[in-house]
Amino acid sequence: MDRNDLSKIQQIIGFNFKNLDLLQQAFVRRSYSKEHGGENNEVLEFIGDKVLDLVVVKILSEEFGSLASEWDDYNPNEDFNEFVSEYQENKLTEIKKRLVEKDTLANCIDDLGLAEYLIMGQGDRKNNVQESPSVMEDLFEAILGAEAIDSNYDIARIQDSVVFMLNPKAIIFEDEINYVQEVQDWSLRRTGELPEREFEENYGYYTMSPGLLNPHAPAMNEKHTCYVTVDGVKKAVGYGVNKVMAHEDACKAIYDYLEDNNMLYTIRDEIDNPSLNMAINQLETLSRRGYFSLPEYEYKESHDNNGNPFWHVECHIDEVEYYFDADSSSKKQAKKEAAFEMLKYVLDNYEERYQKTEYTEWKLTHKWG
C-alpha cells in the first residue's frame, strides 16, 4: 500500500488521518503479520466494533428524538425538558441491528471497493478471504478503530465517516430518496468511480462560481460547504450546518439535474434482456436493487385424470396490486412463467420506486419535524 492508495482510501471513508500508519494497520490481516512481523488490525477491529455501536446509537437518537425544549410549543413553565423519541427501545434495537449486522457492513466495504486494499498473507490470498463477508465486516470495524485512536475518540468526526461509508439513511428510510446514495450509484454505474467531493468551511462569505449547480447563498448557520462532481455533470455546491448536510444538499442538486435532463437510470435499464428462463433471477435482481420487496410465490398441486401432477403457481409483490399466475405440469416451469408475467408488468408499469412511509407522514405533521 503506497501513499496514493492511502490518499484514495481517506477520500472514500471521509476521514483524514494524522497518522497514516494507523490507517494502513487497519488493512493488515493477522496472516500477514505472522509472516512479516508488525501489528495487525484485530485490536483496531475490537475498538471499532464498540465505537460503531455508540455512533449508530447517536445517529438514531438524533434522527428519532429530541429534548422537549426543541419543540415549537415548549413552555419551560409547564413542560419537563425530557428526551422524547418517536420509537421505543425495541424498534430502535431492530433498526440498530440492521445497521451493524455483518451483511450490511460487508456490502458497504464491497460497494466502496475497500477490500482490494487488504494486506494479507499467502494463505489468505490463496483462499481469497477478501471476498468473505466476515473479513469485510472486520475491515469496516478496524477502520473505525483506527479513526478512534487517530482522533482521540472524536465521535463527531467518526460519525461523519460512518455516514459517508455506511449511508445509514438509505437503510433506515429505504423507501425514500437518498440523494447521496442515488448519486453514488449513478456515478459507479457510469464510470466505476465514486463522485469527487471537497469540503470547505465558510465564515460569513461564499463565492458564486460560474457553472455551479445549486447556486444560492447559505443560511447564517450553514457554515459548511461541499462540492460534488460526477462524470458528465457540472460541479454542484451544497451548504449545511455540518458536513453531512452540506453533502446531501450538493447531491440533491446533482440528482435534480439528472432527473430534469432525463439522465437517471430507470427500472428498464436494470435488465438488459428480459427472458422467460431468467425471469425469476431478474425479478430478484430488481428487488435487491431496491425497486420493490422480494417476490413471493404460492404453489398449488393437483392431478389430471391420469394422476399426473399439475402445478398452479402465483407470483406476488407487495407493492404491486396484481397477482400473476401460470399452470404447468412442471412446478419450475409454472414458476418461471408466473415470474415472467410479473417481470413484464413491472418493467412496463412500475414507476413509483419511492413510496411515502409512516416516517414521512410523521415528519410532515410532527411539531419538531
Q: At what angle do helices 155-166 and 42-64 cross, to 10 degrees?
A: 90
Q: Is 150 a catalytic residue?
A: no
Choice among 138, 141, 249, 337 that is catalytic: 141
Q: All 3 cell numbers of residue 283?
A: 425479478
Nearest partner of 190 among 221, 126, 233, judged by Cα: 233
Q: Is 141 a catalytic residue?
A: yes
Q: Are 207 and 197 in contact (CB under 8 A)?
A: no
Choice among 45, 49, 222, 248 that is catalytic: 49
Place of cell 487517530: 150
Q: All 3 cell numbers of residue 162?
A: 460512518
Tell me, rounded to whole angstroms, the distance of Cα 101 from its chain centroid: 13
Positive or negative, the Cα torsion across 254, 259, 263, 264? positive
Looking at the DSSP bridge assignments, the partners of residue 297 are 315
DSSP 110-127: HHHT-GGG-B--HHHHHT
DSSP 238-301: EEESSHHHHHHHHHHHHHHHHHHTT-S--GGGG-SS--TTTHHHHHHHHHHTTSSPPPEEEEEE
Positive or negative, the Cα torsion across 149, 156, 58, 169? negative
Distance CA 213, CA 218 (A): 14
Tell me the chain's radius of gyration from C-alpha atoms: 24
C-alpha to C-alpha distances, 145 to 8, 39, 291, nearest whole angstrom: 19, 14, 34
Active site residues: 49, 141
